[in-house]
Amino acid sequence: MSTAERAEGAAWDEVTPDAARRLLVAAVEAFAERGYHATTTRDIAGRAGMSPAALYIHYKTKEELLHRISAIGHGKALRILESAADGPGTASERLAEAVRTFVVWHAGRHMTARVVQYELDALGAEHRAEIIQLRRKCDAAVRRILGDGVQSGEFDVPDVSGTTLAVLSLCIDVARWFNVAGRRTPDEVGELYADLVLRMVARNQQ
Amino acid sequence: MSTAERAEGAAWDEVTPDAARRLLVAAVEAFAERGYHATTTRDIAGRAGMSPAALYIHYKTKEELLHRISAIGHGKALRILESAADGPGTASERLAEAVRTFVVWHAGRHMTARVVQYELDALGAEHRAEIIQLRRKCDAAVRRILGDGVQSGEFDVPDVSGTTLAVLSLCIDVARWFNVAGRRTPDEVGELYADLVLRMVARNQQ
DNA sequence: CCTGATGCTGAGCAAGCGCTTAGGGGTGCC
DNA sequence: GGCACCCCTAAGCGCTTGCTCAGCATCAGG
C-alpha cells in the first residue's frame, strides 16, 4: 500500500463492506492518475487484489463507482465550506477559514479531489445533474461569506458572483497542480491561499 | 459548422494542407468536449467529414494530433505571457496586461485551452517532456513580472513562487469553467481577473 | 452430513478500439 | 491520351474494453 493510498484511503471508512471500500480506493487512485476513461475495470480490480469480475458484485457499472466517489467527495467539500460559512467570526475570519480548510483538503486529498473536480463530465446525465446541485451549494456558501463582508464593510468586492467564481476556481485548481513530492505542505498552501484571497477582497486603503 | 468551431477554427491557419487543418480543428473540438481518451479516431474523422482512414494520411497516430494541438497552443500561450512580461510599462501594467490577455485567450479559445491545459497526461513521455519545457517558460515570464514589481516596490509579495503558481492557476482554470452561453464575455472576465490579481500583489496600505 | 447464502474466480462474449492495406478516382503535365 | 501523383475510402485485422455467467470455496444453522 502506497503512502498516498494510506493517507487517502483512511477517509473512506463509511463505505462498507471492506471489499467494496478497497475497490473504491483503488478506483480513486486509478481515476486520479490516468483519468476515468483511460482506466480499465481490470486495472481497478487488480489494484484491489481481485479478479475483474469481483467489481461487479459490489457496483453495477464503472460509472456507479465514479458516482459514489463524486457524491461522497462533493459532500465532504460542501461540509467544509458550509461549516466555515455558517461558523462564528467576522466575514474575514470565515473566508480565511473556508479557503484554508478547502485548500488543505484539495492538497491533502488531491487524488480524491482530482476525481471529484475534473471527472464530472464522465458521469451519466442524471448523476451529473445531482452532483451539480451540490456544486451550486458550494458556490452559495462562498457567496454568502462575500456578501456578509460587503454588507459589514469589511470587503470591497465590485463583482460578488465573479469573485466567488474566482475564489472557488483558485482553490479547486490546487488539486490539479499539487504534488506530494513538491516543496509545500497542504497546510502551507492553505495559509498562502487564505492570505491571497483576503487581499483580493480587502477594502482598498490607498 | 458551429459557432465555436468558426471562432476557434480561424486560429489554426498555420496548419496546412486544408484537410490536415480540418482534422485538427475537429480533434480540438472532440478532445475539449469528451477528453482525449473518450474521443475515437472515427469521431474526429467524422467531424471533419472524412472516413476513419483519412486521419492517418495526415497524422501518424492520434497522440500526434494531440501533440500538435498542445505544442501550437502552448506556443501561443507563451507568446502572450512573454510579450506582456517583456513589454513596456510598470510591473503593475505588465501584470495586468499579462493576466488580461492570458485570460481572454483561455475564455475565448476555451476549447483549445482545455485541451492544452488538461490533456497533458495523455501525451507520450517525450512529447510531454517537451511541453513541460514550454510551461516552465510561462511560469518564468510571470515570475519575472512579480520579481520586477517587488524590486521596484510596487508589489508586496512574500512568496513569489507560490504567488506565481496561484496567478497562473487562476487564469488556466478559466478554461475549465468558462461557458460561451454564460453571462460574461472573455473581455469581462479578463478585466475582472486583472483587477483581482493586482489586488493580490498590491502593497498593503493599512 | 446437508443446505442455503455469500463472495469470489476463470473463461469468455459482443462491441468498439487504433490502425493498416489494397485500390479507386480526380488532377495536372507531357 | 497516357502517366504519375496525391487524397481518400471500404474493408478489416488484432486487440482491448465493459460486462456476464456458471461454478467453486467458505461458513452458519440444523
**Residue B205: its pLDDT value, please?**
54
Q: Which has the closest alpha carbon to B44: B32, B27, B57, B60?
A: B27
CB contact under 8 A, B192 and A159: yes
Note whether B162 and B71 are same-domain residues.
yes
Residue A113 in domain: yes
Secondary structure of A43-60 as H, E, C letters: HHHHHCCCCHHHHHHHCC
pLDDT for A87: 94
Output the domain CATH number for residue B40: 1.10.10.60
Q: Is A57 exposed, middle or buried (0-12, 13-18, 19+ CB in 10 A)?
A: exposed
Whether A126 maps to a domain, the answer reads yes
Q: Is A66 in the same domain as A13?
A: no
**Residues with Cβ within 8 Å of residue A13, at least 6 apart in sequence:** A21
- Distances, alpha carbon B175 to alpha carbons A129, B172, B186, in Å: 21, 6, 11
| Of B11, B33, B58, the domain-final residue | B58
**Domain co-membership, A24 together with A79:** no
Kindly determine whether residue B200 and residue A199, on different chains, have CB atoms separated by under 8 Å. yes
* pLDDT of B124 higher than 80: yes
What are the tens digits of pLDDT across the range B10-57?
678 787 788 889 999 999 999 999 999 999 999 999 999 999 999 999
pLDDT digits (tens, 9 = 90+) for A54-80: 999 999 999 999 999 999 999 999 999
Enclosing domain of residue B35: 3-58
The nt closest to A53 (CA vs C1′) is C9
Q: Say yes or no: Cβ of A57 under 7 A from any atom of strand C.
A: yes
pLDDT of residue A206: 46
Mean pLDDT of chain B: 92
Identify the pLDDT of residue A10.
63
Half-sphere exposure of A21 (CA within 13 A, CB side): 13
Q: Is B162 on the interface with A (CB under 8 A)?
A: yes
What's the pLDDT score for residue B8?
63
Cell of A67: 458516482
Q: Are residues A141 and A187 in the same domain?
A: yes
| Domain co-membership, B69 together with B53 | no
Task: Please write the tens of the pLDDT for every residue from A119-142.
Answer: 999 999 999 999 999 999 999 999
* Residues of chain A neighbouring B34 (CB-CB closer than 8 A): 121
Together in a domain, A107 and A29: no
- Tell me whether residues A192 and B38 touch, CB distance under 8 A: no
**Does residue A172 fall inside a structural domain?**
yes
Burial B106-128 (b: 16+ CB within 10 A, else e): bbbbbbbbbbbbbbbebbeeebe
- Across the strands, what pairs with B202? B155
**For chain B, how long is the longest CA-to-CA vector?**
66
pLDDT of amino acid A11: 75
Band the pLDDT of B68: cuts 50, 70, 90.
very high
Q: Say if residue A106 is in the same domain as residue A29.
A: no
CA distances from A165 to A135, A162, B55, B189 (A): 11, 5, 39, 11
Residues B161 and B174 in one domain: yes
Q: Which of A159, A165, A170 sits opposite B166 (nearest CB)?
A: A170
CATH of the domain at A68: 1.10.357.10
d(CA B173, CA B113): 10
Q: What is the pLDDT of residues B150-194, one digit of tens each?
A: 999 999 999 999 999 999 999 999 999 999 888 999 999 999 999
Q: Which of A35, A158, A205 has its CB closest to that of B37?
A: A35
Residues A173, B169: C-beta atoms closer than 8 Å: yes
Low-confidence stretches of chain A (pLDDT beneath 50): 1-2, 5, 206
Residues B93 and B191 placed together within one structural domain of the fold: yes
Domain count, chain A: 2
With cell 475582472, the residue in question is B192
